[in-house]
């Protein structure tokens, strides 16, 4: 039965591609078009991840695609002034701001912005015309189109997304912010693509915020490729804050070259169904990777974090910390795969996943997966699923702190372990504040935003 | 201030407190002594409102109110304080946020506005000096990675911040070196006022060299088996607990 549905969903998507091929390619660019044919062939082979796919054991993908979803191959005309409806709170940290609406870059002026220091950001489609050599060299170079059906699907349909290019030696000291907005009067499937390139010895920090601004069903299938060249440094903070009828399938691929340092921090505040795939390749000596995540789920929300840290070369360090709080009937999964290849001597790899379940109905599946083929390595992993510490709660109560407040303080403290890893101080404070509000039930959105999207 | 009448309490069906009677008035210091396992900590926990202990019989009045009907937080807001024998570590919750929440919840109960940030910092500084607590400690998570002595000092610090009417100090002296002991005792003595009272639980006479009790009670096997003035502590020091255990 599920086999038949699978085939039909897959065929439907392939059909959609074939019957709209002209529209898809005409609205796009040679660089983005180049990968489509083989991608759809791969997708035709792979299909959507199904029950037999061990990596997707706890997240059923097929049913997500059976909903009625509109697809657009060019930006849909939505006439509004973005400033009227959306004022995100985080820009106060002095960021450069890039807006993406339903997967299409939303220019305030030009489709590409070049800062004084040479940093370029803007529309990926536009970049593939203006800087074809840079884009074609990196685009689709690290995303896995052969093993991951959802990525192949994205590559076949992609139209736009965000492009960030940090030239050699450029140190961007203020964060660049990308805000992904979903807004539509129909249910929508969006599949966009981000490409972030850090040239040698450059550094940048990027904040990505995902929001839904209308109550329709959204399914985002998003691929982000990050190339960190020798001695470069990136901090990426991703805030997921979409409503309970939205689904996000995120695939991040990071290619780290010699002595590069990449930190990602994925804060899942809200969302109906979230699957985060994080794939890190440590491809030369001296790389440092930190992957952090925090998820706060309630009602029937579902979160699934999958990470794959590939220690391909010696003398690299990776550090993972994922923490989550699940309330009511929320469900979650964590699968942390670490591969230490035979040549990757002197690897240090650490992983921890800690979870708090606030109710008997909330469920969490956590699975470390270490494959170590080198002998001179230092690895550790630990996973916990527990409840709030009642002794600590009582201790606080004996100081006059009410039971609810005591529980909140404990949860905030638990979450802060992840938030404190954010090095951009104003951003860390802001996120702390958002997390506090989220846990207090006061937040379903950034608090300056007038839209009630959750 | 505190009246305990024929208090019986169980844990997991086993009776631990077997009829406690005790009366404490403002201005008094009471010491409760007794061998390990007598029920001293149980008594303290029942007073503070620990749910795992079931009160099967008896009554506790605290300033005229039925203490057993109050939640632990309301007992605290009414002026009861428990210094834990084993203070709890709370990772991720900073001392500052913890104390701010505590002070403000106490204020709210009394109909007061939250404390101004500058006043709060001043209060923290004052009380830290009183217990000679290292400034760095209050920047850390509650009790996390504190040494045994630091944890005990931190209990007295919290007591100083909250200025309770009745403080119950459960073996605050155990595990302290003589300097720390003096600091802790000093803190307690400085906070003593005619309108407050304390219960000092200990099983050594040592602490009572510094905190002079008005009354000494011996708790044994869930009952107060002897009450007298401070000289009783000395007698215990000399004779040990065996004469109590053997029923004299
Ligand atoms: N959590 C508990 N579970 C079971 N028994 C307990 C618990 N706490 C205390 N007890 C029992 O209650 C009795 C009194 O303990 P306690 O009040 O800690 O004594 P003291 O403080 O005088 O040393 C002991 O027999 C102890 O084993
Ligand atoms: Mg005890």
pLDDT one-digit tens code per residue, A321-370: 999 999 999 999 999 999 999 999 999 999 999 999 999 999 999 999 99
For residue range A113-149, list pLDDT tens digits in order.
999 999 999 999 999 999 999 999 999 999 999 999 9
Pocket test for ligand 1, best of B32, B38, B200 (most atoms within 8 A of CB): B38
Residue A117, pLDDT score:
93
Residue with tokens 């109960």: B109
Task: Write out the residues of chain A at the interface with chain B, using a CB-CB cutoff of 8 A.
Answer: 389, 391-392, 394-403, 405-406, 409-410, 412-417
Mean pLDDT rounded to a whole number for chain A: 91
Residue A82, pLDDT score:
60
CB–CB contacts below 8 A, A to B: 81
Q: Do A398 and B82 touch (CB under 8 A)?
A: yes
Give the count of beta carbons closer than 10 Å to the beta carbon of residue B149: 16
Q: Do B98 and A399 touch (CB under 8 A)?
A: yes
How distant is the Cα of B82 from the closest Cα of chain A, in angstroms? 7
Sign of CA dihedral B197, B201, B203, B206: negative
Q: Is residue B169 over pLDDT 60?
A: yes
* Domain limits, chain A: 9-440
For residue A299, give the DSSP letter: T
* pLDDT tens track, chain A, 454 positions: 444 555 588 999 999 999 999 999 998 999 999 999 999 999 999 999 998 899 999 999 999 998 888 888 877 776 655 655 555 555 555 567 888 999 999 888 899 999 999 999 999 999 999 999 999 999 999 999 999 999 999 999 999 999 999 999 999 988 898 989 998 888 999 999 999 999 999 999 999 999 888 888 999 999 999 999 999 999 999 999 888 899 999 999 999 999 999 999 999 998 899 999 999 999 999 999 999 999 999 999 999 999 999 999 999 999 999 999 999 999 999 999 999 999 999 999 999 999 999 999 999 999 999 999 999 999 999 999 999 999 999 999 999 999 999 999 999 999 999 999 999 888 898 888 888 888 988 765 544 444 443 3
For residue range A60-89, list pLDDT tens digits in order.
999 999 888 888 887 777 665 565 555 555
Sign of CA dihedral B187, B191, B192, B197: negative
Q: Do B105 and A400 touch (CB under 8 A)?
A: yes
Give the count of beta carbons closer than 10 Å to the beta carbon of residue A83: 8
Q: Is residue B39 over pLDDT 80?
A: yes
Mean pLDDT rounded to a whole number for chain B: 92
* Domain limits, chain B: 2-245
pTM: 0.89
Phi, psi for residue B23 in degrees, rounded to 5: -130, 130
Residue B114, pLDDT score:
97
Q: Tokens in use for B46?
A: 């029942």
What residues in B contact A408, CB-CB < 8 Å?
A: none
Whole-angstrom distance, CA of residue B186 vs CA of residue B180: 10
For residue range A157-168, list pLDDT tens digits in order.
999 999 999 999
**Spatial contact of A275 and A244, defined as CB atoms under 8 Å apart:** no
B202 Cβ below 6 A of ligand 1 = no
Q: Which residues pair with A223 in a beta bridge?
A: A193, A251
How distant is the Cα of A433 from the closest Cα of chain B, in angstroms? 14
Each residue of A266-297: b (16+ CB within 10 Å) or e?
bbbbbbbbbbbbbbbbbbbebbbbbbbbbbbb
Residue A64 alpha carbon to ligand 1 centre in Å: 54
Cβ of residue B84 closer than 8 Å to a chain A Cβ: yes
Q: Is residue B248 over pLDDT 60?
A: no
How distant is the Cα of A297 from the closest Cα of chain B, in angstroms? 20
Which CATH architecture group holds B2-245? 3-Layer(aba) Sandwich (3.40)
What residues in B contact A400, CB-CB < 8 Å?
A: 73, 76-77, 102, 105-106, 109, 162
Which residues are within 8 A (CB) of A90 and not within 5 positions of it... i.e. 6 or more apart? A177, A207, A209, A239, A427, A430, A446
Q: In this predicted complex, what is the ipTM? A: 0.96
Pocket test for ligand 1, best of B36, B37, B203 (most atoms within 8 A of CB): B37
Q: Do B71 and A405 touch (CB under 8 A)?
A: no
- Which ligand 1 atom sits closest to the C-alpha of B36? 23
């Amino acid at each position: 039965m599920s086999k038949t549905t699978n085939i039909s969903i897959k065929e439907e998507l392939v059909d959609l591609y074939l019957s709209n091929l002209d529209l898809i390619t005409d609205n796009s660019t040679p660089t983005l078009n180049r990968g489509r044919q083989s991608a759809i062939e791969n997708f035709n082979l792979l299909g959507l991840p199904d029950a037999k796919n061990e990596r997707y054991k706890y997240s059923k993908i097929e049913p997500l695609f059976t909903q009625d979803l509109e697809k657009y191959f060019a930006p849909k005309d939505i006439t509004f002034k973005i400033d009227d409806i959306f004022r995100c709170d985080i820009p106060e940290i002095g960021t450069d701001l890039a807006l993406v609406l339903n997967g299409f870059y939303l220019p305030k002026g030009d489709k590409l912005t070049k800062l004084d220091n040479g940093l370029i950001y803007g529309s990926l489609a536009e970049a593939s015309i203006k800087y074809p050599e840079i884009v074609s060299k990196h685009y689709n170079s690290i995303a896995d189109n052969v093993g991951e059906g959802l990525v192949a699907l994205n590559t076949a349909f992609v139209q736009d997304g965000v492009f960030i290019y940090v030239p050699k030696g450029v140190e961007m000291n203020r964060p660049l912010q990308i805000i992904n907005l979903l807004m539509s009067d129909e249910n929508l499937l969006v599949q966009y693509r981000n490409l972030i390139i850090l040239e040698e010895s450059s550094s940048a920090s990027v904040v990505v915020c995902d929001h839904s601004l209308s109550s329709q069903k959204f399914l985002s299938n998003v691929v982000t490729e990050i190339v960190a060249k020798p001695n470069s440094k990136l901090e990426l903070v991703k805030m997921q804050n979409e409503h309970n009828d939205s689904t996000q399938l995120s695939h991040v691929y990071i290619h780290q070259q010699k002595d590069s340092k990449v930190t990602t921090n994925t804060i899942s505040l809200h969302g109906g169904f979230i699957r985060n795939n994080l794939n890190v390749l440590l491809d030369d000596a001296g790389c440092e990777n930190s992957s952090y995540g925090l998820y706060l789920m309630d009602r029937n929300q579902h979160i699934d974090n999958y990470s794959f840290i590939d220690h391909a070369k010696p003398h690299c360090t990776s550090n993972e910390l994922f923490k989550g709080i699940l309330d009511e009937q929320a469900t979650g999964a964590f699968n942390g795969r670490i591969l230490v290849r035979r040549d990757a001597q002197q690897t240090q790899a650490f992983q921890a996943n800690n979870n708090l379940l606030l109710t008997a109905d909330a469920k969490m599946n956590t699975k470390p997966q270490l494959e170590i083929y080198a002998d001179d390595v230092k690895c550790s992993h630990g996973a916990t699923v527990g409840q709030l510490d009642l002794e600590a709660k009582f201790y606080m109560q004996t100081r006059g702190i009410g039971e609810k407040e005591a529980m909140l303080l404990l949860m905030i403290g638990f979450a802060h372990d992840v938030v404190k890893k954010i090095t951009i101080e104003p951003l860390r404070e802001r996120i702390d504040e958002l997390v506090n509000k989220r846990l207090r039930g006061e937040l379903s959105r950034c608090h300056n935003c007038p839209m009630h999207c959750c | 201030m505190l009246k305990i009448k024929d208090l019986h309490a169980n844990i997991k069906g086993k009776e631990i407190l077997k009829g406690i009677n005790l009366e404490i008035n403002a201005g008094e210091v009471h010491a409760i002594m007794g061998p390990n396992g007598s029920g001293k900590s149980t008594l303290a926990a029942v007073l503070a409102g620990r749910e795992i202990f079931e009160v099967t019989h008896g009554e506790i009045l605290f300033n005229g109110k039925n203490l057993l009907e109050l939640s632990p937080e309301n007992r605290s807001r009414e002026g009861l304080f428990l210094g834990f024998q084993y203070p709890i570590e709370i990772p991720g919750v900073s001392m500052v946020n913890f104390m701010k929440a505590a002070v403000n919840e106490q204020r709210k109960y009394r109909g007061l506005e939250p404390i101004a940030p500058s006043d709060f910092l001043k209060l923290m500084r004052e009380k830290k000096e009183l217990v000679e607590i290292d400034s760095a400690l209050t920047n850390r998570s509650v009790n996390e990675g504190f040494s045994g002595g630091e944890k005990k000092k931190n209990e007295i610090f919290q007591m100083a911040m909250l200025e309770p009417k009745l403080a119950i100090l459960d073996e605050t002296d155990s595990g302290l070196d003589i300097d720390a002991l003096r600091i802790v005792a000093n803190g307690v003595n400085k906070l003593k006022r005619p309108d407050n009272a304390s219960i000092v639980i200990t099983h050594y006479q040592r602490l009572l060299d510094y905190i002079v009790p008005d009354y000494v009670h011996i708790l044994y096997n869930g009952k107060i088996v002897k009450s007298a003035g401070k000289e009783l502590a000395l007698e215990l020091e000399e004779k040990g607990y065996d004469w109590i255990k053997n029923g004299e």
